[in-house]
Amino acid sequence: MGFFAKRIDKQIASYQHELIETHYREVDNMYRQMRGWRHDYRNHIQTMKAYAAAQDWEAIKRYLDLLDDDLTKVDTVIKTGNPMTDAILNSKISLAKTKHIQVVADANISLKLKLPEIDLCCIIGNLFDNAIEASMKLPEEQRLIRVYMDMKNTQLYISFTNFTAGKKLTKVGKRFRTTKGEGHGFGLVRIDAIVERLDGYISRNSEDGAFTTEILLPPQE
């Protein structure tokens, strides 16, 4: 292996390590929020008990209405059936919302996946990060990311679509030309390397107004 190839491998490894650390921080933050919600609801129960002891039924009704609204916000999390997928998707959806990006996600994983969680983390994380970066170039009302994950028999299918500024990207070799920083480029390389190692399939399609990445990973039974 030549000097240049070794240097690229070190840069990719460094980027991968940084990416995984970022994802774990995001996941940890999400679980902290969930623990906070659980703690809050213990307090809510105590408050309602106090209202009930005072037989203040109107106060209980108002409080229940407030809790109903709050629970609706909490219950918007994605539940795929796979803990790591749930953690990564929900942390990235939360990040997208802070950037005023709408996310439409439909994900269902009915089997216990055999692919390493670190690989799943890198694939989903990179796809989401790239889609978020591209979405930031659009006005807020046009920012939209569509995520679809499902089992095709026993194969895992992943699809990410984000809207673009309307310009069709130019393909160079197996990948589309990008004007983003080198972190984005390493993200694409990392996705391709993982899919190739797992004997999977990846397809990227750039049409006017949208960019879609589709990944099919081998049987997960």
Domains and CATH numbers, the chain: 3-74 (no CATH), 83-217 (3.30.565.10)
Residue 180's pLDDT is 47
| b/e burial code for range 12-37 (CB count within 10 A of at least 16 → b) | beebbeebeeebeebbeebeeeeeee
Q: What is the rounded CA–CA span in Å between residue 100 and residue 136? A: 9
pLDDT of 7 > 80? The answer is: no
Q: Which long-range contacts (CB under 8 A, 24 or more apart) does 73-78 make?
A: 74/37, 78/105, 78/107
Residue 1's pLDDT is 55
Report the mean per-residue pLDDT for the chain: 78
Provide the residue type at 63 as one letter.
Y
pLDDT of 173 > 50? The answer is: no
149: nearest Cα among 120, 114, 187, 191 = 120
pLDDT of 76 > 80? The answer is: no
Q: What is the rounded CA–CA span in Å between residue 184 and residue 165? A: 18
Q: What is the rounded CA–CA span in Å between residue 148 and residue 105? A: 6
Residue 120's pLDDT is 86
Q: What is the rounded CA–CA span in Å between residue 92 and residue 88? A: 6
Dump pLDDT digits (tens) for 15-71. Answer: 556 656 665 666 666 666 666 666 777 788 888 888 888 888 888 888 888 877 766
Q: Are 151 and 106 in contact (CB under 8 A)?
A: no
Residue 182's pLDDT is 44
Q: Minimum mean pLDDT among 34-38, 66-70, 138-142, 173-177: which range?
A: 173-177
